[in-house]
Amino acid sequence: MKNAKKSFYYLLTTLLILTFIAPLAWALYNSVAPNPGTAQTDGFGFANYSTLANYGSGIWTYIGNSLAVSVVAVLAVLIATTTGGYAFARYNFKGKNASFLLVLSVMMVPYAALLIPLIVWMKDINMQNSLIGVGIILALFQLPFGTFMMRNAFSGVPRELEEAAMVDGCGPFRAFWKVAVPAVRPALVSVGLLTFLFAWNDFMVSLYLLSSDKAPLPLAMVNMRQQVMGVIDYGVTTAGVVVLTIPAMILFLSLQKYYVKGFTSGAVKG
């Protein structure tokens, strides 16, 4: 009885692993496998990848665009959520609750609804078709979660640490920068990495706001597929998926510990 149960458990879980991994494994395989009608016609090899590398203005342009957008988003999120989280955790200022609600209300508003005015508004503030602009917009959508997390993290840092620094003559900004920020490094890492993943994978915001020469990789991949409508090059498509996925997956796996912790602290508080 017990044995039957155990083998059922292993059977079920193995099936589950296969279901979730198989599509990814298939993409990897298909990108190098012989595949009539694509660049990789005979034998295994990297022909799909070299087609991909030479697509449009060259794949490095698109990877560069993706990186630019992601780095801007991460920087903006880290600056805003550490300072903001610190303000909410440490200071009592007039309008604090209203400001905090305002940050959380970003979550309530569908971002699809913001993109139409942003097409016009970005032009008005001279940021049309700008990777930096898209990066900051992506940062906006990460603000609620990030601020919430940083606020909790700073609340967990004993006030005495900064007070001691200030007794030693630090100003409040130095105490913040030299004492409080280093103390919340795990939270910083997880907010930063989650933002990076979010920005790296963004499709919709760049579709609305960027022209095809400024396209980050996901948008470039979708554009590429559409340009060859009729004869869709699945080999190159899967190669693109692999290129898009590998950095994200490495980050995702390496930060697993952090975001599980992040979710946990959120859940306990919420």
Q: Does 75 bind another protein (CB under 8 A)?
A: no
Dist CA 133 CA 139 (whole Å)? 10
Instruction: Return the number of the residue (17 or 60) whose C-beta is nearest another protein.
Output: 17
Touching another protein, residues 171-190 (CB under 8 A): 171-174, 176
Closest CA to 236 of 48, 47, 25: 48
Touching another protein, residues 83-122 (CB under 8 A): 83-84, 86-88, 90-97, 99-100, 102-104, 106, 108-121
> Could you give the angle at which helices 111-124 and 131-155 cross, rounded to 10 degrees?
120
Q: Does 168 bind another protein (CB under 8 A)?
A: yes
Minimum CB separation of residue 185 from another protein in Å reads: 19
- Quickly tell me which residue has 């510990």 as its tokens: 257
Give the residue, chosen from 44, 54, 58, 167, that forms a contact with another protein under the rule CB under 8 A: 167
Cβ atoms of 203 and 222 within 8 Å: the answer is yes
Q: Does 195 bind another protein (CB under 8 A)?
A: no
Dist CA 231 CA 227 (whole Å)? 9
Instruction: Return the number of the residue (53 or 114) whose C-beta is nearest another protein.
Output: 114
Q: Which stretch binds another protein (CB under 8 A): 49-57, 67-75, 79-87, 184-192?
A: 79-87
Cβ atoms of 225 and 51 within 8 Å: the answer is no
Q: Does 30 bind another protein (CB under 8 A)?
A: yes
Token couple for 58: 């060259």
Q: Which stretch binds another protein (CB under 8 A): 29-37, 43-51, 54-62, 187-195?
A: 29-37
Instruction: Return the number of the residue (61 or 201) whose C-beta is nearest another protein.
Output: 201
Dist CA 101 CA 98 (whole Å)? 5
Q: Does 130 bind another protein (CB under 8 A)?
A: no
Dist CA 211 CA 214 (whole Å)? 5
Neighbours of 73 (CB within 10 A): 27
Dist CA 243 CA 237 (whole Å)? 10
Q: Does 257 bind another protein (CB under 8 A)?
A: no
Touching another protein, residues 133-152 (CB under 8 A): 136-137, 139-140, 143, 147-148
Instruction: Return the number of the residue (60 or 121) whose C-beta is nearest another protein.
Output: 121
Q: Does 11 bind another protein (CB under 8 A)?
A: no
Q: Does 12 bind another protein (CB under 8 A)?
A: yes
Touching another protein, residues 46-65 (CB under 8 A): none
Residues binding another protein: number (CB under 8 A): 108
Touching another protein, residues 199-238 (CB under 8 A): 200-204, 207-208, 218-219, 221-222, 225, 232, 234-235, 237-238
In a 10 Å sphere around its CB, with 0-12 CB exposed, 13-18 middle and 19+ buried, how is residue 122 labelled? buried
* DSSP character at residue 178: I
> Three-state SS across 189-220?
HHHHHHHHHHHHHCCHHHHHHCCHHHCCHHHH
